[in-house]
Amino acid sequence: MRRPFLNEDHEMYRKSLRKYIEKEVLPYYEQWEEDKQVPHSYWRQLGEQGFICPWVDEKYGGINADFGYSVVLAEELEKVCTGISGPSLHADIIVPYIDTFGSEEQKQKWLPRCVTGEIISSVAMTEPGTGSDLAAIKTTAVRDGDHYIINGEKTFISNGYTTNFVVLVCKTDINANPAHKGISLIIIDAVDQEVPGFKKGKKLRKVGQNAADTAELIFEDVRVPVDNLLGEEGKGFYYLMEKLQQERLMVAIGSMTAAERMLEITIDYVKQRKAFGKSISQFQNTQFKIAEMATEIEIGRTFVDNLIVKHMAGENVVNEVSMAKWWVTEMAKKVAANCMQLHGGYGYMEEYEIARRYRDIPISSIYAGTNEIMKIIIAKNLGL
């Protein structure tokens, strides 16, 4: 289908990225899945070839590219394996916090290194026991002269084991009422040196997305310069809410791509697989299942691409993005189950891609705000 936000330049970028992936990623990503992380060289290579953060301003090393390039990056990485999508998370969910809320000094200090892949960023929101209740976080940053002293623990942090740059969500005012007004964002910069008191827990063992390293982050009397405060004290919650539209749109984009890929490999499989003297693609049940999935995927693609156009135009589509995030991720989970069923027993074998896809996709309905939270947002915006 025609995608109005993509032009010849985007497709040249896609072609170049795909060529890099075929040479430097496809031969190794299965090993990365076993290692439970991607190597730093992967980030550096992407950065050196201009694939990370091309939207950043030229004076910080980018090319002022539009959001269409972010879509292409997310799609091409997802086509290989959800677990290698850390650079997309970095480029289009985390780095925008620096670009939008950072001071000029902070931008000059960090954005160029974000573009080159030298910085591996993470955003540390979730804590043990808090889940989606961001206002209930307990990590504190207490002012001590020209520094903050930070104490607390974060969990389920994507890029957490390899990260050297953390956008930390913490409380600078534990007495704020309401509580979310005490939340601030502070940068933990460990790119060039160790930060005393900042520790990483072991890699967390997950059901899927194995190459995407996930870890706990621990802060014990960590001293951070006040200059590392992002924006203003007490505005962190509002900064997070402002950026969640793009974050949830990125989840919908990745889940759409995964659904399309699962249908593609399943169509190929059912054409080749024989049963009772003919390919299983000739059975009516198979045809009906494929037709149903293809229809839902087409509906989802039309909706998501329309939201991308609106997002690129600067429109507020928080409600529609919430709809897309929950509906597309649930659709992708259903596609994964149906595609595995059509693969039969082979679908349960690790050497078949659908097995990995089946275990990679469920988390999409949980991160970036659970689908239950998405429905609460929608209901609220409907006046309920």
Cα 172 from Cα 283, distance rounded (Å) = 62
Work out the number of other CB atoms within 10 angstroms of the CB of residue 241. Answer: 12
Cα 68 from Cα 354, distance rounded (Å) = 28
Cα 337 from Cα 345, distance rounded (Å) = 13
Tens of pLDDT, residues 148-194: 999 999 999 999 999 999 999 999 999 999 999 999 999 999 999 99
User: Which amino acid would we find at residue 125?
Assistant: M
219 forms beta bridges with 152, 198
Residues 6+ away with beta carbon under 8 Å from 313: none
Name the residues annotated as catalytic.
Answer: 247
Work out the number of other CB atoms within 10 angstroms of the CB of residue 104. Answer: 7
pLDDT at 130: 82
Lookup: tokens for 169 = 């969500």
Tens of pLDDT, residues 62-82: 999 999 999 999 999 999 999
pLDDT at 103: 98
Tens of pLDDT, residues 17-48: 999 999 999 999 999 999 999 999 999 999 99
Cα 58 from Cα 16, distance rounded (Å) = 20
| Residue 132 pLDDT grade (very low, low, confident, very high; cuts 50, 70, 90) | confident
Work out the number of other CB atoms within 10 angstroms of the CB of residue 114. Answer: 26
Please check the confidence at residue 300 and state whether its pLDDT lies above 90.
yes
Fold (topology level) of 123-234: Butyryl-CoA Dehydrogenase, subunit A; domain 2 (2.40.110)
* Nearest CA among 16, 158, 21 for reference residue 78: 21
pLDDT at 108: 98
Q: Which of 128-142, 149-163, 227-241, 292-306 has the lowest mean pLDDT?
A: 128-142
Please check the confidence at residue 131 and state whether its pLDDT lies above 80.
no
Tens of pLDDT, residues 245-292: 999 999 999 999 999 999 999 999 999 999 999 999 999 999 999 999
| Torsion sign across C-alpha atoms 124, 240, 230, 183 | negative
* Nearest CA among 215, 134, 128 for reference residue 171: 134
pLDDT at 273: 94
Domain boundaries, the chain: 8-119, 123-234, 237-381
pLDDT at 74: 98
* Nearest CA among 259, 264, 268 for reference residue 357: 259
Tens of pLDDT, residues 342-384: 999 999 999 999 999 999 999 999 999 999 999 999 999 999 9
Of the chain, the percentage scoring pLDDT greater than 90 comes to: 96
Q: For strands 147-158 and 140-144, give the pairing.
A: antiparallel
| Residue 322 pLDDT grade (very low, low, confident, very high; cuts 50, 70, 90) | very high
pLDDT at 45: 97
Cα 48 from Cα 44, distance rounded (Å) = 6
Please check the confidence at residue 128 and state whether its pLDDT lies above 70.
yes
Please say whether the structural domain 237-381 has been given the CATH code 3.30.1280.10. no
pLDDT at 235: 97
Residues 6+ away with beta carbon under 8 Å from 334: 296
pLDDT at 57: 97
Of the chain, the percentage scoring pLDDT greater than 70 comes to: 100
Q: What is the CATH number of domain 8-119?
A: 1.10.540.10
Average pLDDT, the chain: 96
pLDDT at 1: 67
Cα 98 from Cα 82, distance rounded (Å) = 25
Residues 6+ away with beta carbon under 8 Å from 61: 53, 111, 112, 115, 116
